[in-house]
Structure 1
Amino acid sequence: MKKLCLFVLISTILVGCGGGGGDSGGGSNTKATPLDLGNLTSDVKKQYAQVNYDTFLVITESALNCAKDLKVGETDNTCAVIDSGNHNEGLSIEDISGTLSVQKQSDKIQISTVKDIQFHAPLINQNTNNFKLNQNNIANKKEETNFITIPETNTQEMADSETESNSVFLCGTFTFTNDDGIKTVDAFEHEYRGLIYSHNTNTDESHFFESSSRMVGKNNTMFDWNTDDNGVIKPI
């Protein structure tokens, strides 16, 4: 009995933030199935990782932009997900759209999906793909996810600094409309410090530096992607 309980617990943790599988939405009768990450080459894994990175980056920038004029306790349920163009390199995703709910709290910005994020990812396919934030991050055993921390800095410190930094905690499910069918992949930051978002106020560029995230697919196959101090994804 103890062995059975342990097996169930481990399986639950490996599933990640959940939400994979099910119908793809949009009225399609084609059933979505988890992507078999174990059959992908290192180069293809890195392509999926780049799409994950860029999607999380656009969500972060959009949420921060919508929250900057909010007072503590206020919520914006019409936050548009858009590419601000403030990146070290061009994005791997295009034609991005979607709507977030952004609530500003005293120490963080809480985020949820109002309208699923849609985008094209030429590295993966030529079709429209989706991403949706999920409520629970089971893999990290955290009670909550999908928020951005607000640093404890005073006005003078912010004025003297050339960079703004936030810890970002995101968890959700990608739905890729691939040529071989509709495939889902769970994605989430899996370190307790979150993804480290950095924005240079002089160059207006942003990236995730020294950060790590995990992608989980069919039968709990998974891989991690990590970035260096310049925000570039390391070889997988």
Structure 2
Amino acid sequence: MATSRISRQTHSALGKHPVSTPPVYLTLILYNWSKSHHYTASDQDPVELSSGQKVGRLQLFDITHRKKDGSPMTSEAGEIMEKLNDKKAEYEAIALNDSSDRERVEISSKQKQKFTHTAGSKSFACVAEAKHAAIHAFGESSSTKVQRLKDQMAQMQARTVAQIAQLKVEAASIKAEVQRKYEELQLQLKKEAAAREAEQNKKYNELQL
């Protein structure tokens, strides 16, 4: 009854005032009604304009509180529009989730009915019990597998650290061996150079005689 009375008042008010200049009490009626009734859809209980077009209350509020360029008439109107749109989006999301939940429940219920009709209620109970037991067992097996993988990773890490340490020792040993051979080669070259120089001096002295 209250909704119909508001609809008649709104229709009467729109017949007397232009759409671009709404009366103040119409704004309060629309906002208070949508706030107190948690209005969730703009197409329910539509209001008919003088042109014969039917619009929802949120759409009507939006139409009657915007300028020709599309901006809100006042900052307060803009805030109200933003709040109403947020509430609308919130309720639509809730409705969508509820619809999805209902669909899942219906699908599960239909599957249960088909299985029960085919195999009997006792078979369904046995399958459900076996399912829970398998999940429980799989959970324990999975935990053991994870722990085993952790142990293997720790062992691999320890082996890697040991291999790196061994490689460092081998690298140091190779470096020392290379340095030793380099020094031996330098010493040998010096000896050979000294021997050649001595031989040349000897030949030179013999030629002088």
TM-score by length of structure 2 reads 0.20
Greater helix proportion: 2
Which protein shows a greater Rg? 2
TM-score by length of structure 1 reads 0.19
Higher relative contact order at CA 8 Å, sep ≥6: structure 1 or structure 2? 1
